[in-house]
A and B are shown apart, each in its own frame.
Chain A
Amino acid sequence: MLRNPLAVAVAIVAIVVVVVTYRFYFAQVGGPEGNAFSGGPSVLAGAPAQSYPLIDLAGKSDSLDRYRGRVVLLNLWASWCAPCRSETPALERLYEAERSKGLVVLGVDQGESLHVAASFAAEMKLHYPILVDEEQLYGRAYESIGLPTSVIVDRSGRIVRGIDGELTLAQMRDAVGPSLRASE
């Protein structure tokens, strides 16, 4: 064998290929992840925030992208959702208190008509911007596992964290505080 360099080379190549193939397929065993239930909005931290053009309560086009450069608390809600209703006054207070520091609360109504969202905003005396998402695009993209869902987006458009469920004012301040302070 050693007298034949070609045979030696072929043998070495064959051994290398067999070892690489063997190791490669052992690394493959296990299959894909993420085919079961959603991990919820918390798994999105660090990812770029997805934006879809929608209409606001005045019927004008608006989207998350328009608020790039500010810290956004994206809040997914619906008028029938009791925890959403109970959370809304705290969102309004947070918006009024922190907007001067660069915070925007952006409400996104999930799957309801414009006039339903407008009636809810009027009833709750809301001043923060609200988008109407009839096709539930944001709810799907942000892996919502319930309502309300809140997602904190930093000034560069990256998701800082996603939170499932109703938040108190103190919890909202804790959630947006680091992003607001980081950019002061």
Chain B
Amino acid sequence: MNDRFLPQAAAPAAIAFVLAQDLFPAWSGFHTWQYAAVLAILAIVVLQHARHVRGTVALLGAAGALIVVAAGVGSGLLGPDTEIVQRPPGTVAPLPDVGAAAFFPNAAASAIAAGTAAIVLRRLDGPAIEIGPGDRRFVSATELQLVSSPAAYVEARDGSGNRLTITQPANPAFLSPVLLFGQRVTIAGADLPADGFAVPAARRQIKAFYFSKDASQRARARGMAGVESVLFAVDDEAGKSIPGAIGFARSGQTIVLGGLHLHPTLGSYPSLAISAVPFPPALLIGGLLYFVALGLSLIGKHPNIVS
């Protein structure tokens, strides 16, 4: 390592730090002053090096790196933190800052079990974009990605087998039979996703707690250890517990509690993670300038940025 290594490495290091935002957009560290400070220090080193080397090519490379750094600082400090948009199936979430609306599909029990639901993004100024499980999409200076969360499609029936309406008075979708477990509850030291619903025809309120395989293994629930399941606790309409009306059900199993036949189908439903990323045109222009300068420098016909 010679005494020029650090100045020479500053520009590619800065570019790499910025590109890392595209690779790991959800990392909260990009939105801290420390990250901006590192980029600022690297920018100063790049400027100093450009002044020392002089020449058009060095200036070109430095300008390119600085443009990339500006885009990185912009998305890091000014861009919003990663936000998770969770909506019930069948609803629409307006995303004015992305210039789009996210359509969350109406999911039947089979779609919840398969975990294959895709979110469709409709934009005023462009074609619709479908974002499926594992997909990443870039829209202007945001990266959109699906995050799968546990979900349960619940059917409730009376003793005669009649299907009963499920309501969720405390949730955004009043008439949804899909539980998204958006709350957290600690039971016996275990932090569990929780949700609740009502069956007005039977005058029942039900609390539901999601147990992953690990959680049920730790809880050592009878017959459910190591099995993904949901714990139902049935209350009357005044919220008073009904004796004995608490029990686990695995996916596809019907359990009778408080006179209700509850049948959950467990699986997952997507949320939309929205992360700020560096403004793509800035990355493109800055990166192009830097790599053109680097190429010219390596050819050796110009005052360069690598020596």
Contact = CB atoms under 8 A, between A and B. Distances in A.
A36 B86 CA distance: 9
Interface string A64-96: 000000000000101111000000000000000
A18 B71 CA distance: 7
Interface stretch (B9-17, B20-28, B245-253, B275-283): B275-283
Contacts of B161: 113
Interface in B55-73: 56, 59-60, 63, 66-67, 70-71
A125 interface: no
Contact of A137 (B60, B63, B90, B279): B90
A11 B165 contact: no
Interface stretch (A54-62, A141-149, A165-173): A141-149
Contacts of B98: 32
Contacts of A38: 91, 172-174
Contacts of A4: 56
Contacts of B60: 6, 10
A134 interface: yes
A81 B59 CA distance: 74
A13 B90 contact: no
Contacts of A145: 174
A31 B80 contact: yes
A80 B83 CA distance: 39
A135 B172 contact: no
Contacts of B285: 13, 17
B261 interface: no
B80 A112 contact: no
B303 interface: no
A13 B67 contact: yes
Interface residues of A, number: 51
A21 B274 contact: no
Given A32-B98, A36-B172, A111-B175, A21 B200 contact: no
A184 interface: no
A72 to B, nearest CB: 19
A110 interface: yes
Interface residues of B, number: 57
B194 interface: no
B204 to A, nearest CB: 11
B47 to A, nearest CB: 12
B228 to A, nearest CB: 22
B124 to A, nearest CB: 14
Interface in A141-169: 141, 143-147
A85 to B, nearest CB: 12
Contact of A32 (B95, B141, B175): B95
Interface string B83-125: 1011111111111111000000010100000000000000000
Contacts of B276: 25, 28
Interface in A97-150: 110-113, 115-116, 134-137, 139-141, 143-147
Nearest to B92: A34
B166 A18 contact: no
A135 to B, nearest CB: 6
Interface in A1-56: 4, 6-7, 10-11, 13-14, 17-18, 20-22, 24-38, 52
Contacts of B174: 38, 139, 144-146
B163 interface: yes
B74 interface: yes
A17 B286 contact: yes
Contact of B74 (A25, A115, A139, A147): A25
B86 A35 contact: yes
Given A17-B71, A111-B164, 16 more contacts: A10-B60, A10-B289, A17-B279, A17-B282, A25-B78, A27-B97, A29-B80, A30-B97, A34-B87, A35-B87, A38-B174, A111-B166, A135-B177, A136-B166, A140-B173, A141-B90
Interface of B: 56, 59-60, 63, 66-67, 70-71, 74-75, 77-80, 83, 85-98, 106, 108, 140-142, 161-166, 172-177, 200-201, 274, 276, 278-279, 281-282, 285-286, 289
Sorted nearest first, the 6 A-B pairs with minimum C-beta distance are A139-B175, A140-B90, A25-B78, A111-B165, A80-B201, A21-B74
26 contacts: A6-B60, A14-B70, A17-B281, A20-B281, A21-B71, A24-B140, A25-B78, A25-B79, A28-B80, A28-B141, A29-B78, A29-B79, A32-B83, A32-B93, A32-B97, A34-B85, A34-B87, A34-B93, A78-B165, A110-B175, A111-B165, A136-B175, A136-B176, A141-B90, A144-B175, A147-B175
